Structure 1
């Protein structure tokens, strides 16, 4: 199993927490962890040691200074927005599939069924976050002019078909799109606008559960997605939004305590 992350120095402990949750709850035995960083990243030793303790293989992918020299870069659109969109340019050519994960999530059940999904000729597999109405999806389709897409995909969990991505993705098309449009969530908007029709939808209640919205899921599933159901069935809990559980001094949601427990267990593991 190949996993991909993109972090800076602020998130290395969170990344280790993600990896520990995968170690505890997934059946994959051979895991390669690729982490996109810049040259000033200072926590490579900690990540390498953590992966070694978990029986995983750590690979640092350093973005060269010359990368994206032709790309539009501003305070609003820093170079980091390109990392997951153009990761295939810097990953080993022998990789055919990789799962990108944000560092603000937990894996609480087996990740292998997601990783082994048949992508066919799709470039990606991703989830559309569920809403009580489809108004947000309609607005995003109008805004991005991608009416063929099933909806607005969240890029925090993104299974990548690297062969198709290498064949279809043109960096200049991405740069041109960013120059010509005002974007709300730059990398996610680009993903949806240019490649939304090539994304295979996976259920968010399983593979990208928005930890803020338990009551929403419970309502739209007519009571199926209870807390017990999520703990038993959901694979990825995604702590979306500004209220991150590792910063919380009070319980801002049903899953804050769960995250804090994993974070503490990871810290103890790294200290041993």
Structure 2
């Protein structure tokens, strides 16, 4: 059995349902216990997640872990309102107290992912003497991050969207409280929210996995942006991804998305919900207006803009991945 957890709210339920759907479609032989962390969810939205699990697996089940602690009210003040990050992002810090005591390890996944292959090899990674397993983030090559957070660069910097967590270690070492305390006392330092705090508190105790388990969508947009240190690993990851992470503001449900797997996500949405997804704009006001003008100029060939140049060359990989999702339509 595998334990997998998501953090969500009422605004992100459909996205989380698609993530769960892809996990089940690419891990068909697994018995999975899904744990949904949230501050609150409507019964309708709980039913969406329950029915998704039931539709795609007869062996798996789902449990809701609702956080009602007053600390959430205090903690919510640290969120920068101009950022696309929601309160649900921080709820993963409460994993030690929200999960049942008999859960000793958990695979935490952000809701804006699609799973494209088996998670079993990652889940079986040895957690002895480490706090978690995660993939390197681009900032692991950026000295600024380590100067800001004040810990050794050789300890690395991980992305917090995919975490195989040693729950026993977190409980024993009070990681929840240590991380919360760091966020409360260092709001300006935590540019990347609790991801920064987790990297600071857990540095030196983290085991790094292959980047294929957390492939950022922009790796498919511009190969020149690869961190040199991980150039070869990233190339391997984009050719054989296990988890594709839509971690930028250009989500697949926005007009501005440039990822070659946006169409795949939209197909998954239609299959799960029986209708097309209504796209929204990432940009608002003046920025949205200027973006629209630039888009028109680009389409007419009057002036070319890089932001409208979409990724090419991944049609074979996209077809291969979609075959895992759609060959046995339900």
Distance in 1 (alpha carbons) for counterparts of 2:232 and 2:51: 45
Question: For structure 2, which runs of at least 5 residues remain unmatched after alignment?
Answer: 81-85, 276-329
Distance in 2 (alpha carbons) for counterparts of 1:257 and 1:3: 26
Instruction: Return the offset for 1:244.
Output: 0.2
Are 1:96 and 2:97 matched, yes or no? no
- Corresponding residue for residue 198 of structure 1: 205
- Corresponding residue for residue 18 of structure 2: 17
Are 1:188 and 2:195 matched, yes or no? yes
Tell me the SS of whatever aligns to 2:155: coil
TM-score w.r.t. the length of structure 2 is: 0.71
Which residues of 2 match residues 131-146 of structure 1 at below 5 A? 134=141, 136=142, 138-146=143-151
Are 1:155 and 2:165 matched, yes or no? no
Higher helix share: 2
Checking the alignment, whether the CA contact within 8 Å between 2:96 and 2:170 is kept in structure 1 is yes
TM-score w.r.t. the length of structure 1 is: 0.85
Instruction: Return the offset for 1:107.
Output: 0.6
- Corresponding residue for residue 45 of structure 1: 47
Change (3 A) 1:152 1:263: same
- Corresponding residue for residue 248 of structure 2: 241
Distance in 2 (alpha carbons) for counterparts of 1:174 and 1:143: 16
Tell me which of 174, 184, 198 is aligned to 2:179: 174
Distance in 1 (alpha carbons) for counterparts of 2:185 and 2:67: 25
Instruction: Return the offset for 1:114.
Output: 0.9
User: How many residue pairs were aligned?
Assistant: 261
Tell me the SS of whatever aligns to 1:173: helix
Instruction: Return the offset for 1:153.
Output: 1.0
Higher RCO (CA < 8 A, seq sep 6+): 1
Checking the alignment, whether the CA contact within 8 Å between 1:149 and 1:196 is kept in structure 2 is no
Checking the alignment, whether the CA contact within 8 Å between 1:218 and 1:224 is kept in structure 2 is no
Change (3 A) 1:172 1:99: closer
Checking the alignment, whether the CA contact within 8 Å between 2:35 and 2:65 is kept in structure 1 is yes
Distance in 2 (alpha carbons) for counterparts of 1:73 and 1:140: 23
Aligned CA-pair RMSD: 2.8
Distance in 1 (alpha carbons) for counterparts of 2:173 and 2:76: 23
Distance in 1 (alpha carbons) for counterparts of 2:215 and 2:234: 14
Larger Rg: 2
- Corresponding residue for residue 93 of structure 2: 85
Question: For structure 1, which runs of at least 5 residues remain unmatched after alignment?
Answer: none
